[in-house]
Amino acid sequence: MQHILGRVASVTPLDTASMELARSRQQQLTKPAGSLGRLEDIAIQIAGITKQPLPNVKQKAVIIMAGDHGVTKERVSAYPSAVTSQMVYNFLQGGAAINALAHHVGARVIVVDVGVAADLSHLGLHSRKVALGTANMVLEPAMTHAQMLEAIQVGIDVFDTQLDRGIDLVATGDMGIGNTTASSAIAAILLQMPVIPVVLDGFISGAAALIAVKLNPVIGTYLLAGHNSVEQGHRLILERLGLLPLLDLKLRLGEGTGAVLAMSIIEAALRAHSEMATFTEAGVSTREEK
Amino acid sequence: MQHILGRVASVTPLDTASMELARSRQQQLTKPAGSLGRLEDIAIQIAGITKQPLPNVKQKAVIIMAGDHGVTKERVSAYPSAVTSQMVYNFLQGGAAINALAHHVGARVIVVDVGVAADLSHLGLHSRKVALGTANMVLEPAMTHAQMLEAIQVGIDVFDTQLDRGIDLVATGDMGIGNTTASSAIAAILLQMPVIPVVLDGFISGAAALIAVKLNPVIGTYLLAGHNSVEQGHRLILERLGLLPLLDLKLRLGEGTGAVLAMSIIEAALRAHSEMATFTEAGVSTREEK
């Protein structure tokens, strides 16, 4: 518990010096000031997060936390719990939406079994099962306190492993029939904040981010909202977090799909920020001559 | 004139058989039906445009039509007309926003001098100057009828040349201080409709699309709105065209920047459409078992 709280408390405020340098560069690039809109804001925010006036993204990953939810016994989903493990194998074989979209943006897909209600075995799977699914929260707490801490620790460990491999931008993903409870994603959120820009996906990761920001408001400045899900409640969460979604494509799949799509926009913002010529470099007039 | 009207009239309706096959495939992919939202609509639309149930995008281009506008004598812009030619050189040297964003999505940048008010010379420039800028439309018509036809013909010719090189998805771009008149973009729009999906950029290409759709309403089905510009009037144009913008990033630069960014989303849609596994292929349950 102390370890987890320590990680959360250690999040530093954005680096204002890097942000100022980035803002100044945006003023000098060959375009009317502000005309790249939110692309400019993204570049400045990520400059502050990375402490680099010219940040770039080399390595991207989406971390999908998979788990089952006892509440499915209440028939809250159109799909049976068995679909969770079937979809985990689909991720590992590259056949799911998140695989196609991650392929498109060049992000690696990390699949973690935090609590799928079946014995899974695959070389590519990160097996860190806390339980064979949660309990039915209608009848009892979905997780014990110890399980909750263990799940968060899984997130920290998985992320640290990826950090060692290299990671500049991370998207949060989720899989679990009945995953209206945010438990698996909480882990991904809590741990990822202290190091890097994080792109949120839909309702599940949004709920987890709410908790993370409640623990430490500074975390909010590290987040980017990937998209505006059509799932009810997501808009309210983003409003509370003060985040404007980058995309509004009527997605409601989860898996990290919206977050990964938004990575492409974020990378474009950083590319414009670093590759464009300044007015001076290009010899372009900045104002009316007399 | 006959040639141009012939091209416009030759636009065929979308291929419903290909769209039906694409729609059926979307139902079979490993996700809840409809959960990829507008990505599914895009894949189905482009199936209809290309007459391919599994369309893919190999070659992309943004065509930037550059010209000057006599109306700048009325001081309608914060920048002098000289900036048009300076920016054309900036495009050709790769220093503008559109270069960075086109690089990001892998689209080639085609720069056409349709009417810049200066003598330009560069190996990479397509020189098809109709006039040294238009006349001041406050005092007289901006273009003669013959110039208007010639400008449209430039668009047809430039596009046909690119078609020979190979092109699967095209974005419309524009450059011209004071380009509230849509003349240069009209050419890009009118000619591109008959062959391929076209991604519109902001206000300039939107106004041109309005004219194209008035000439032949079928053209509207070939269009995708890249983004929602903050330029006044753009939203009204999109409403009239019945197009929902893919992005809303507060851009107001032009050059094709919003259209090129949206190419990334469109490609992602086609990738999910073609790369995902079906429920049968992945062995995933489609419904509750008893």
Q: Tens of pLDDT along chain A (290 residues)? A: 677 777 777 778 889 999 999 999 999 888 888 888 888 988 898 898 889 999 888 899 998 889 998 878 877 677 788 888 999 999 999 988 899 889 989 999 999 999 999 999 999 999 999 999 998 877 888 889 899 889 888 888 888 898 889 888 888 888 887 665 444 344 344 444 444 767 777 777 777 777 778 778 887 888 888 888 777 677 777 888 888 888 888 887 778 788 888 888 888 888 888 888 888 888 888 764 43
A38 contacts B97? CB cut-off 8 A: no
Other beta carbons within 10 angstroms of residue B139's beta carbon come to: 11
User: Which residues in chain A are contacts of B75 at CB distance < 8 A?
Assistant: 288
Q: What is the pLDDT of residue A178?
A: 65
Exposure string for B24-49, b = 16+ CB within 10 A, e = fewer: ebbeebbbeeebbbbbbbbbbbbbbb
Q: Tell me which long-range contacts B193-196 makes (C-beta under 8 A, separation of at least 24).
A: B193/B8, B193/B11, B193/B219, B193/B222, B193/B223, B194/B7, B194/B8, B194/B10, B194/B11, B195/B159, B195/B163, B196/B49, B196/B50, B196/B167, B196/B168, B196/B169, B196/B170, B196/B222
Q: Which residue has the tokens 């620790």?
A: A153
CB contact under 8 Å between A93 and B284, yes or no, is no
Q: Nearest CA to CA, how far is B10 from chain A (Å)?
A: 32
Q: Which residue has the tokens 């007015």?
A: A279
Of A80, A253, A271, the CB nearest to B285: A80
- Predicted confidence at residue A193, as pLDDT, reads 40
Instruction: Determine the pLDDT at residue B155.
Output: 82
Give the pLDDT of residue A127. 95
Residue given tokens 């047809």 in the structure block = B156
Helix (H) or strand (E) holding A148: helix A145-165
Residue A28: list chain B partners with CB under 8 A: none
Give the distance from residue B95's alpha carbon to the nearest chain A alpha carbon, in angstroms: 4
Chain B residue closest in CA terms to A93: B282
Q: Which residue of B has its CA nearest to A87?
A: B284
C-beta neighbour count of B61 within 10 angstroms: 24
Q: In this complex, how many residue pairs, one in chain A and one in chain B, have their CB atoms less than 8 Å apart?
A: 189
Residues of B in contact with A288 (CB under 8 A): 75, 78-80
Question: Confidence band (pLDDT; 50, 70, 90) for B71?
Answer: confident
Q: Which residues of A touch B30 (CB under 8 A)?
A: 87, 90, 95-97
The residues of A carrying an active-site annotation are: 255
pLDDT computed for residue A182 by the predictor? 45
State yes or no: pLDDT of B192 exceeds 60: no
A74-95 as b/e, with b when 16 or more CB fall inside 10 Å?
A: eeebebbbbbbbbbbbbbbebb
Q: Is the pLDDT of residue B186 over 60?
A: no
Which one of B29, B31, B85, B270 makes the best mutation probe of the A interface by having the most chain A beta carbons within 10 Å? Answer: B31
Residue type, B53: P
pTM, two decimals, is 0.86
- Mark yes or no for CB contact B284/A39 under 8 Å: no
pLDDT class of B287 with cuts at 50, 70, 90: low
Residue-level pLDDT at A116: 94
Cα angle A22, A25, A28 (rounded to 5 degrees) comes to 160
| Predicted local distance difference test score (pLDDT) of residue B21 | 95
Please indicate whether, in this complex, the C-beta atoms of B105 and A268 are within 8 angstroms of each other. yes
Least confident residue range of A151-165, B68-82, B171-185, B270-284: B171-185
* A278 DSSP assignment: B
Whether A36 and B287 lie within 8 Å, measured CB to CB? no
Name B126's Cβ contacts closer than 8 Å, sequence gap at least 6: B110, B111, B112, B113, B158, B161
Find chain A residues with C-beta within 8 A of B288's C-beta. Answer: 75, 78-80
Please judge whether A253 and B100 are an interchain contact, meaning their C-beta atoms are less than 8 angstroms apart. Answer: no
